[in-house]
A and B are shown apart, each in its own frame.
Chain A
Amino acid sequence: MRLFLKEKKKAIILFSLIFFHLILISFQVPLGDKQNYFERAIFSVFSPVQHGVIFFFKKAGEIWNDYFYLWEVQKMNKELKEEMFLLRQENSQLRRALRRLKAERDIRNFISNLHDSFLVTRVIGIDARNIYKSIIIAKGSLDGLKKNMVVLDWQGHLVGRIIDPISLKEARVQLITDIESGVSVISLKSRAGGVLKGDGKGNCRLEYIYPTQKVNNGEELVTSGLDHIFPPGIKVGTIVSIKTEASLFKIIKVKTSFEFSELDLVVVILGDSKDVLLKGE
């Protein structure tokens, strides 16, 4: 028996590993996009390394820029950029809110709470399998991030939502371009409502629009809030092509408002996003 094990050691280890993976896969398939504990553990161990690498390179770049080039100007510029970034977010949310809010007291309450409701963070990683599925951001549960919190780009366009796993200082964001993402949206012009799903290739599809409903190319889509995850009024994308084939619904392609190549800084809406954006309503 011992001799047999010795001779067949390699084959036994290989088949054990294959068996181990098949068990992992068969556990994972029914879970869908939910992560199992093993995956969470690996993510929790390696995401700080990723964070550290990005931090190191960011710091190295900063040292180079700060000390070898216009140190003061660089610093001021950076501060102004960050301030502008936040102000843009505030401005965009305020505009949306002002359309809805009526009482002055409500507006005051809204403004006082708004500034603390955003968390600016950096993208530190992308999805290895498909870049349009998810990203990793440099804030985690210690910063107050929770599942389903809404993530926007620097102009306030919808990027996605926080999903598991969330480690102490990192979190994963499911992008709206992910094939398994779904956002309830409405057209600003025709008021046609549907579900926006990612195509996994950087764009989205607007689903459940009947051939009789009128929608046109160039129409802007915003979140409707009906999914109870994404607050209403956030700009999501623009319709770029419409096909009416023999199917029950129109085939509508949507270009996202956020630019994938510009995803460096993002904003997370803290707390219940609906409360944050609709405070005072």
Chain B
Amino acid sequence: MRNFVEISIGIIIAFFLYTIIGKISFSLSQLLNFFTLAVIYFAITKGELYGACIGTVCGLIQDSFSLGVFGISGLSKTLIGFLAGFIAQRINVLPLVRNFLFILVLIIGETALSLFLYYFISAEYAREITPLILFQPLCTAILGSIVFLFLRKFRVLSF
């Protein structure tokens, strides 16, 4: 029950930030992916199964708020969530630089997988990709590593 409440709050916070950032700046909303950060956070703290399930939920929410193929973000986030949890169970990914690289690689993987699936389904979709999306892994990884650093400082996150 506690896990369910924590995860629900986490997803709502991600959705809240996604909405607010979209209202503040359209460009900024393309650079930061709060849903992915939520997935990675829960994958690290709760394990790969939670990562995969939260990835499914977050991905489908993101899909339902965009015009595209419903399920692509869901699939990529599910895989990223599982992978994040799997790696975090075996390697300490919390030190700042390692954490940054960990998030960066995961989000690059997610972006690449989404793009591949869109190309695979229709090259027409790939034409819609805005260059800003390509900077999303870097910006989200910087934000994510800073957030995780603070969470560690306040002992919310530990390995």
Contact = CB atoms under 8 A, between A and B. Distances in A.
A binds B: yes
Interface of A: 9-10, 13-14, 17-18, 20-22, 24-25, 28-29, 33, 35-36, 38-40, 42-43, 46, 49-50, 53-54, 57, 124-134, 136, 172, 174, 178-180, 199-201, 260-261
Interface in B50-72: 52-53, 56, 59-72
A131 B56 contact: no
A174 B130 CA distance: 17
Contacts of B68: 129-130, 133
A260 B26 contact: yes
Interface stretch (B74-82, B99-107, B139-147): B74-82
B151 interface: no
Contacts of B130: 130-132, 200-201
A126 B61 contact: no
A207 to B, nearest CB: 14
Contact of A43 (B64, B71, B133): B64
B26 A261 contact: yes
B65 to A, nearest CB: 5
B53 A17 contact: yes
A161 B148 CA distance: 41
Interface stretch (B17-25, B38-46, B90-98): B17-25
Given A17-B78, A39-B70, A50-B15, A131 B20 contact: no
Nearest to B33: A128
A43 B52 CA distance: 21
Given A49-B12, A53-B20, A10 B49 contact: yes
B19 A53 contact: yes
B61 A42 contact: yes
The residue in A22, A25, A128 that gathers the most chain B C-beta atoms within 10 A of its C-beta is A128
A58 B64 CA distance: 24
Task: Kindly list the 3 A-B residue pairs having the minimum CB-CB distance in the complex, ordered from nearest.
Answer: A200-B128, A24-B71, A21-B75
B129 interface: yes
A106 B59 CA distance: 52
Given A13-B52, A261-B26, A46 B61 contact: yes
A36 B19 CA distance: 23
Given A29-B121, A129-B67, A131-B26, A49 B15 contact: yes
Contacts of B129: 130, 200
Contact of A25 (B15, B18, B49, B75): B75
Contacts of B153: none
Contacts of B79: 18
A46 B63 CA distance: 12
Contact of B60 (A42, A136, A174): A42
24 contacts: A10-B48, A13-B49, A14-B78, A21-B56, A24-B70, A28-B71, A38-B60, A39-B63, A43-B65, A46-B61, A49-B16, A50-B15, A54-B19, A128-B62, A129-B66, A130-B67, A130-B68, A131-B27, A133-B128, A134-B66, A134-B67, A174-B67, A178-B67, A200-B130
B29 A131 contact: yes
A125 B23 CA distance: 7
Contacts of B155: none
Given A18-B78, A127-B65, A128-B18, A179 B124 contact: yes
B16 to A, nearest CB: 5
The residue in A10, A39, A129, A134 that gathers the most chain B C-beta atoms within 10 A of its C-beta is A129
Contacts of B2: none
A22 B133 CA distance: 24
